[in-house]
Structure 1
């Protein structure tokens, strides 16, 4: 974790964070499952399939079990919205950058030869913390979207979580990170538009990040409840995509 960005005060806060923050490890549990609905209420017996690839949020870090993470929560939200069973799988890695998604995680999913109704890509926070440039981000994200086309006709890119609210980081560092996230989001929107992918910007969405139960005990990753708060915003923003599935 580099975090050497922003003003001298932000840099000092980054050095302090590097040596004091102890991030939660990836939780146990199966990284896949099926969210079911009442069969009598369901108009489609074929499950919607979603695959998520990305960083610690996809891995469910901050929870005790991957079944409590963001991906299964989104699957449940889709199931409730569509009244249809949803089969999900998550390929998350703590510390993953978009470059890791490009060269390792995506390749592993492509090798399996499956196709999904919706593909979720979620990374970006680690690229910021590693001081990767916007040009590097643009190149890696564009390549991921090109290479992921065989996996799904509906590719969704999720922004990082709200690092500007993380209580483990100093105030100046949070301000610097927010500027970095906004700049990254602007590039992401351009790249997604050029590749006909959907970009979901959760940076300024009201996900109750100030709620006492939003963050996990490491004060960095969301808790199980925090992921549920985030899911509400994600599902609401993807209503148009769901109608096409």
Structure 2
């Protein structure tokens, strides 16, 4: 990267920090049960992470990623799914590691981890990301029966951000995703790369940065397809 590009990206990042108004975390309960019409013992899903888990971009928690994910899991496995969310707008993998993961109790059937975008925004190094993700997964595997992970979202395609900044974010997300794939592979943890998936119409929320309900439905479907690959054969 030449000095001009570096200066341009820094200027655009400063502009975005001051100008882009991010959607807040929506109101509503952060726990519930999906698939009540399904027979069998209720399963337990816990999701920990950043604003994508906290539901920024929709009007109510019922439209957010975790309950949508729980509903699809319930349909796939044929059992009700109790779900709960532990997340915050702006959370990094370090916050997940030291705050939200220790709150997970009872050995849930499914433990979902979603973070990464804020680590890039905070300019944390790939080595810091790898260290924290590795430690997070090692701990998660002792706390959940089935752990699964997804990549950062798609800030590099955000209509709210300027071009040079988006391109820089894309390069960083690609590097982070490549490292995450290897870390998850070593531990046998399913990893879903949503960062380069073609996006459906209506994916973006009004802030142009977070997903809408359509976006969360799209992501939930990708996660379930990755978690239960045998169902798609």
In structure 2, the residue matched to 1:205 is: 197
Between the aligned partners of 1:147 and 1:55, the Cα distance in structure 2 is 18
Moved more, 228-237 or 20-29: 228-237
User: What's the CA shift for 1:29?
Assistant: 0.4
SS of aligned partner of 2:204: coil
Q: Pick the aligned partner of 1:91 from 65, 70, 86.
A: 86
Equivalence for 2:72: 77
Distance of 1:67 and 1:173 partners within structure 2: 32
Residue deviations 1:165-224 (CA, integer Å, cap 9, x gap): 11110111111111101100111111112222221111112232xx2x221121111112
The equivalent position to 1:146 in structure 2, one of 138, 148, 151, is 138
- Structure 1 unaligned regions, length at least 5: 1-5
Q: Does 1:30 align with 2:29?
A: yes
Partner residue of 1:225? Answer: 214
- 3-state SS of the aligned residue for 1:7? helix
Aligned 8 A contact 1:163 1:174 in 2: yes
Contact 1:69/1:224, CA 8 A, preserved across alignment? yes
Retained in 1: the 8 A contact 2:107–2:145?
no
Provide the rounded CA distance (Å) in 2 between the counterparts of 1:129 and 1:241.
Answer: 36
Q: Show CA shifts across 1:73-122 (max 9, x none).
A: 1111112222221111111111000011111111222xxx3111111000
Give the 3 Å change call, closer, same or farther, for CA 241–116 of structure 1 in structure 2. Answer: farther
TM-score under structure 1 normalisation?
0.88
CA–CA distance in structure 1, aligned partners of residues 100 and 180 of structure 2: 19
1:156 aligns to what? Answer: 148
Please give the alpha-carbon distance, in whole angstroms, between the structure 2 residues aligned to 1:116 and 1:14. 39
TM-score (norm. length: structure 2): 0.92
Cα offset for 1:242?
7.9
CA contact (8 A) 2:191 2:226 kept: no
2:95 is matched with which residue? 100
Give the whole-Å Cα distance in 2 for the aligned partners of 1:141 and 1:242.
28
Report if the CA contact (8 A) 2:22-2:209 is conserved: yes
Offset of 1:21 from its aligned partner? 0.9
Measure, in 2, the Cα distance between the counterparts of 1:103 and 1:82.
31
Aligned-residue RMSD, C-alpha: 1.7
Question: Quick one: structure 1 residues 144 and 7, their matched pair in 2 at CA, closer, same or farther if it must change by over 3 Å?
Answer: same
1: CA distance between counterparts of 2:46 and 2:146? 11
